[in-house]
């Protein structure tokens, strides 16, 4: 990862981690349809590993939540242009030839050295509810996207999604016999399976849950 890009991500992380209070609501430009921007965006995985940004509307305001960080509000500057005021950062939503939002660009102020970060808008699959291996996660009723990622799908956090069943998030996939490591991802936040005491550390120093498929 290039130094300039590291600088941008570190700056964003510091903003999101140390933000103790939600940004006061900002009045949005009436002509802007906030639903145009809603979705999950993924940075180029060859540049930033497994880095996603979820954009959503809450209380008639637009919010963004990066991987591993709390949400923060976006203030409209003009159509397709929003500001993260705490870092004087600009988020630009890019449209395709049909006028649909296809990506976003995060840029710092002109004085900053970090290069813009471009994230492509993803088309998420339907929840995976058929298979011989079942993953269950209780609680988290207000989560928007719950997924399972592991050694079985190269840790892709936007590929195997869970669906709601009663008070649980459930995911089922077909796995061949063997040992797999995995984690749940709740709106970009990675957690161990709280119902599974079996864990192990990988070669990168991360602790993951372990599933044995017979």
Out of 18-32, 41-55, 177-191, the most confident range is 177-191
SS3 18: helix
For 80, residues 6+ apart whose C-beta sits below 8 A from its C-beta are 92, 93, 94, 95, 101
Percent of the chain with pLDDT over 90: 63
Average pLDDT over residues 46-62: 90
Pairwise CA distance, residues 12 & 81, whole Å: 17
* Distance in angstroms (rounded) separating the CA atoms of residues 177 and 54: 34
Residues 134-142: what's their mean pLDDT? 95
Q: Is 134 a residue whose pLDDT tops 70?
A: yes
Average pLDDT, stretch 144-152? Answer: 96
pLDDT value of position 70: 87
Residue 110 has pLDDT above 70, yes or no: no
Average pLDDT over residues 78-103: 88
- pLDDT greater than 80 at residue 141: yes
Model confidence at 150: pLDDT above 70 = yes
Q: Which is higher by pLDDT, 12 or 106?
A: 106
CB 108 within 8 A of CB 123: no
Taking residues 25-34, report their average pLDDT: 63
Q: How confident is the model at residue 113 (pLDDT cuts 50, 70, 90)?
A: low
**Ramachandran bin of 97, using left for φ above 0, alpha for ψ from -120 to 50, beta for the remaining angles:** alpha
pLDDT of residue 116: 78
**Is residue 4 predicted with pLDDT exceeding 70?**
no
Is the model's pLDDT at 179 over the cut of 50? yes
């Amino acid at each position: 990862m290039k130094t300039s890009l590291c600088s941008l991500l570190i700056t964003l992380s510091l903003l999101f981690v140390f933000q103790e209070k939600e940004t006061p609501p900002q009045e949005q430009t009436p002509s802007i349809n906030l639903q145009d921007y809603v979705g999950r965006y993924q940075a180029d995985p060859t540049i930033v590993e497994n880095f996603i940004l979820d954009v959503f509307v809450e209380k008639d305001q637009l919010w963004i939540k990066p991987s591993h960080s709390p949400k923060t509000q976006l203030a409209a500057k003009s159509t397709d242009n929003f500001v993260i005021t705490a870092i004087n950062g600009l988020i630009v939503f890019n449209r395709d030839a049909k006028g649909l939002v296809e990506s976003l660009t995060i840029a710092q102020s002109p004085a900053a050295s970090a290069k813009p970060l471009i994230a492509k808008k993803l088309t998420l699959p339907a929840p995976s509810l058929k298979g011989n291996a079942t993953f269950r996660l209780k609680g988290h009723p207000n989560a928007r996207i719950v997924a399972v990622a592991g050694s079985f799908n190269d840790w892709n956090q936007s590929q195997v999604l869970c669906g709601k069943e009663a008070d649980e998030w459930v995911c089922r996939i077909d796995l061949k016999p063997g040992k797999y490591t995995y984690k749940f991802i709740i709106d970009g936040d990675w957690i161990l399976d709280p119902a599974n005491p079996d864990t192990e550390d990988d070669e990168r120093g991360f602790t993951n849950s372990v599933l044995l498929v017979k």
